[in-house]
Homo-oligomer: A and B are copies of this chain.
Amino acid sequence: MDTLNSPRELAVWKAAHARCAFVPTMGNLHAGHVSLVDKARLTGLPVIASIFVNPLQFGAGEDFERYPRTFEQDCEQLKAAGCHAVFAPSVEDMYPQPQAYFVEPPELANELCGQYRPGHFRGMLTVVLKLFNMVQPAIAAFGKKDYQQLALIRGMTAQMNLPIEILAGETTRAEDGLALSSRNGYLSTLERKEAPRLYHCLKQIADALSSGRTDFEELETQALGTLYQHNWKVDYVSIRRPDLAPAINEGSAFVILGAAHLGNTRLIDNVEVPAIKAAAK
C-alpha cells in the first residue's frame, strides 16, 4: 500500500491511477470503514482511502482535539483490507491559507444534526469537495451510518455536476446492535452497555411503521421518553422520508434518525424502512 503524505505525492500516484475508487475517512478505522473499502474494491478500480480529521467540520467545544488519531493501526487495517493507497494530508496541506470559499448547503444542513452542529455540514461538504478535486475518483464510498452526511454529499455531487458515482455502505453493527463509530471509544464500560438502546428505539419505530402505524409524533415521543428514562440527553429522534423530507402519511419508505448523548459522547444512528408493498396491506 502506498502512503501519500502530501498533495504532491497524491498527484504522482494519480498519474499512474487515473481512475480510482475513493474512501474518505477521519481515521480511527473500524469494521465499518473496512466494509467501505471492500465495497470500493468490488468496482475493480484501485482503491485509495484518505485519513484527515477536518477542523472545518468541528464546532467550538466539539471533540476536534480529542478525536482519536491512530494512524499506524489505520494503515495496517487498510493494507489488510487490500486498499492500494492512503492519502494522509496535514491540516496545512488542506488549508495552506484560511479557507474562504465554502460549499453553501441547502436548508437540510440546518436540520437534524445540523441544528445541533452549526456549520458542520458546510465544513464537511467543503472538505469533501476539496478531496474530490484532489483525488478525482470515478467512485466514492460513504457509510449510511452518517445518513444526513450521505444525503448532502449525494446532493452536492448531483448539483455541482461532479462526475463521481457515490456508493453507500450499510451500517456495520456490534452484536448488540450498536452502530460502529470512532466515538464509541469515548464510552465508559457502563455507557457502552447502555449505548445500543438508541438503535433499539429506532428499530422499534421502524417495526411500528412497517406494521402500518403513521402516528409519527407519537412514535417519536415514545422513543424520546425511553431514552430520557435511561439518562440520555436526546438531540432528536425524527421519522423522515428517504430523501430526509418530512414524513408523510402515506405508504412510502422511511428512515428514522436519532442523535443523543450518553455522558460526554454524542452518538447517532438511523434505521431504514422500505416502502410497504400495497399487496402486503
Contacts and interface: CB of A to CB of B under 8 A. Distances in A.
B136 A101 contact: no
Contact of A99 (B7, B125, B136, B159): B159
Interface string A97-132: 101111111110000000000000010010001110
Contacts of A101: 103-106, 125, 155-156, 159-160
A102 B104 contact: yes
A105 to B, nearest CB: 6
Interface string A170-182: 0000000000000
A230 B101 CA distance: 39
A206 to B, nearest CB: 28
A134 interface: yes
Contacts of A102: 103-104
A189 interface: no
A274 interface: no
A100 to B, nearest CB: 4
A245 B153 CA distance: 34
B100 A160 contact: no
A161 interface: yes
Nearest to A101: B159
A70 to B, nearest CB: 26
Contacts of A134: 161, 163
A133 interface: yes
Contacts of A107: 100
Nearest to A94: B161
Interface in A64-116: 97, 99-107
Contacts of A159: 97, 99-101, 130
Interface string A149-163: 000000110011111
Nearest to A107: B100
A4 to B, nearest CB: 14
A133 B163 contact: yes
Given A100-B155, A155-B100, A133 B161 contact: yes
7 contacts: A100-B105, A100-B107, A101-B125, A104-B104, A129-B160, A130-B160, A134-B163
Given A101-B103, A103-B104, A131-B161, 9 more contacts: A99-B159, A100-B106, A100-B159, A101-B125, A101-B160, A102-B103, A104-B104, A133-B162, A136-B163
